[in-house]
Amino acid sequence: MGKTIVYNPLNYPLYVMVKPVGALCNLDCSYCYYLEKDSLYRDRKINRMTDELLEKFTEEYINSQTLPEVSFTWHGGETLLRGIDFYRKAVIFQKQYGGGRTIVNSIQTNGLLLNDEWCRFFKDNNFLVGISIDGPEHIHDRYRLDKGGRGTFSRVMRGIELLQKHGVEFNTLSVINDYNVHYPVETYRFFKEIGSRYMQFSPIVERWGDRDDGLELLPPGEFYHTEMPPWCVKSEDFGQFYCDMFDEWIKEDVGSYFVQMFDATLAGMVGQPPGVCVFGKTCGHAAALEHNGDLYACDHFVYPEYRLGNIRTESIISMMLSAKQTSFGNDKWDKLPRQCRECTFLRLCNGECPKNRILKSSTGEPGLNYLCKGLKKYFAHVLTYMEFMACELDNERPPSNVMEYARAQKKTNK
């Protein structure tokens, strides 16, 4: 790309979630927070990342880090709409600029466009594929609709079967909404049945509002009266969902099936990093890159006021280390209300995601998490089992011994 750039790389990982087609998508999921981001780029004719920008990003992203492994995350909008040649080029650039480092690729997709060619490509290049599926048909088709309003369940299942046929590693990403929150056990058993060993769930918490930029879903911090869309989950239902799923999981699945929430809680118990940003102390380590090079503080903060700059004119490191991004990251801890600081579950929760901090605390302080009641319910429910597993780990025994303990507890309580 002409000019030689001198890097001053970081000795810790950077994470940038890349949006090769911005908010463009072939679906119209009712709850999607990202679809409306196209209003930020209405004046652009083409919402696709160019090959030239891809090369610039790849070179700079790799050279901004000194660690032996570099992680690429492809996200959207619908990632597969950018076409397979784009990702073939991405892999070529990664090899060209990788300097022998291990490159890891993860791609998030709704799965509809998967075919043999995509699956072969993912297999050959070791991509980890995240498939969005909310549960069995009646759950998935409630909100994950195509542009014609038709359910997409059978088409996603076809995609999953293709991934399995080609031996591609995949995990499932689901939302927790007002409907599926009432089916935790059915949902969990369904994911086991379809061969998902790693399950992630994101609660839907959004607020409608009017903004001058055309975005209708609000970031936190705007405390005027707003309405929550009907597909949002209720806090206590969210807690109950995880309690019931935990009770099912602990019967026979510890060590064989992995639910990100349970892993994060156990990590918190033993003082390890939670493996998911929402339960960490600070944020700011994972930014989102739009198709035109605009970099934002986080995938859930793609709003003009959280734009850090553009990679065409500023370096990724300077934006990630900027005062703006540093305070965004530190605010997660610094702005915790007293209610959180005094909470017995603080080390497991850390106030969860700042995006969901839209309530006032019992003393009227802003910044309490909307999910607080549900989180407390869940943490209280799993605590003794988590303590048991932490103790097993401490003594170099497998945490899966907790299943025996849970059975014994059940007998005593009968």
Ligand X SMILES: C[S@@+](CC[C@H](N)C(=O)[O-])C[C@H]1O[C@@H](n2cnc3c(N)ncnc32)[C@H](O)[C@@H]1O
- Catalytic positions are 299
**Tokens at 264, concatenated:** 């994060």
Among 33, 122, 241, 246, which residue sits at the site for ligand X (rule: CB under 6 A)?
33
From residue 33 to residue 72, what is the string marking binding to ligand SF4 with x (rule CB under 6 A)? Answer: -xx-------------------------------------
Instruction: Determine the Cα–Cα distance for residues 265 and 250; give it in Å rounded to an integer.
Output: 14
Q: Which residues, 40 to 59, sit near ligand X by CB under 6 A?
A: none
32 near ligand X, judged by CB under 6 A: yes
| Shortest Å distance, C-beta 352 to ligand X | 13
Instruction: Determine the Cα–Cα distance for residues 75 and 62; give it in Å rounded to an integer.
Output: 18
From residue 80 to residue 119, what is the string marking binding to ligand SF4 with x (rule CB under 6 A)? Answer: ------------------------------x---------
196 near ligand X, judged by CB under 6 A: no
Count Cα atoms within 13 angstroms, Cβ side, for 183: 19
353 makes contact, choosing from ligand X, ligand SF4, none, with CB < 5 to 8 Å by partner type, with ligand SF4
78 near ligand X, judged by CB under 6 A: yes
Q: 282 and 336 in contact (C-beta within 8 Å)? A: no
| Shortest Å distance, C-beta 278 to ligand SF4 | 4
Q: Which is nearer to ligand SF4, 67 or 346 (CB)?
A: 346
Q: Which residues, 271 to 330, sit near ligand X by CB under 6 A?
A: none
Which range of residues in 71-79, 191-199, 274-282, 383-391 is near ligand X by CB under 6 A?
71-79
Measuring CA to CA, which residue among 167, 164, 170, 162 is closest to residue 116?
Answer: 162
For the chain, the straight-line distance linking the first and the last C-alpha, in angstroms and rounded, comes to 70
Which residues in 86-176 belong to E strands, given as ranges? 102-109, 128-132, 170-176
Which range of residues in 106-114, 265-273, 314-322, 403-411 is near ligand X by CB under 6 A?
106-114
Number of residues written out for the chain: 414
Buried b (16+ CB within 10 A) or exposed e, 49-78: beeebbbbbbbbbbbbbeeeebbbbbbbbb
Which range of residues in 46-54, 232-240, 336-344, 390-398 is near ligand SF4 by CB under 6 A?
336-344
Q: Which is nearer to ligand X, 301 or 388 (CB)?
A: 301
18 near ligand SF4, judged by CB under 6 A: no
Q: 177 and 204 in contact (C-beta within 8 Å)? A: yes
Instruction: Determine the Cα–Cα distance for residues 21 and 110; give it in Å rounded to an integer.
Output: 14
**Tokens at 385, concatenated:** 């089992």
Among 175, 215, 269, 319, which residue sits at the site for ligand X (rule: CB under 6 A)?
175
Among 110, 180, 240, 339, which residue sits at the site for ligand X (rule: CB under 6 A)?
110
184 makes contact, choosing from ligand SF4, ligand X, none, with CB < 5 to 8 Å by partner type, with none
The DSSP line for 131-160 is EE--SSHHHHHHH-BBTTS-B-HHHHHHHH
Instruction: Determine the Cα–Cα distance for residues 318 and 309; give it in Å rounded to an integer.
Output: 10
172 near ligand X, judged by CB under 6 A: no
109 near ligand X, judged by CB under 6 A: yes
Instruction: Determine the Cα–Cα distance for residues 31 and 52; give it in Å rounded to an integer.
Output: 33
Q: Which is nearer to ligand SF4, 35 or 217 (CB)?
A: 35
Q: Which residue has the tokens 């025996």?
A: 404
Q: Which is nearer to ligand X, 57 or 238 (CB)?
A: 238
Q: Which residues, including other chains, have CB under 8 Å from residue 190's CB and lie 6 or more apart? A: 135, 136
Separation of CA 201 from chain center:
8
**Tokens at 84, concatenated:** 């397979």
Residues that bind ligand SF4 (CB under 6 A): 25, 27-29, 32, 34-35, 76-78, 110, 132, 277-278, 283, 286, 298, 300, 332, 339-340, 343, 345-346, 349, 351-355, 369, 372, 375-376
Residues that bind ligand X (CB under 6 A): 25, 31-34, 75-76, 78, 108-110, 132, 173, 175, 202, 204, 206
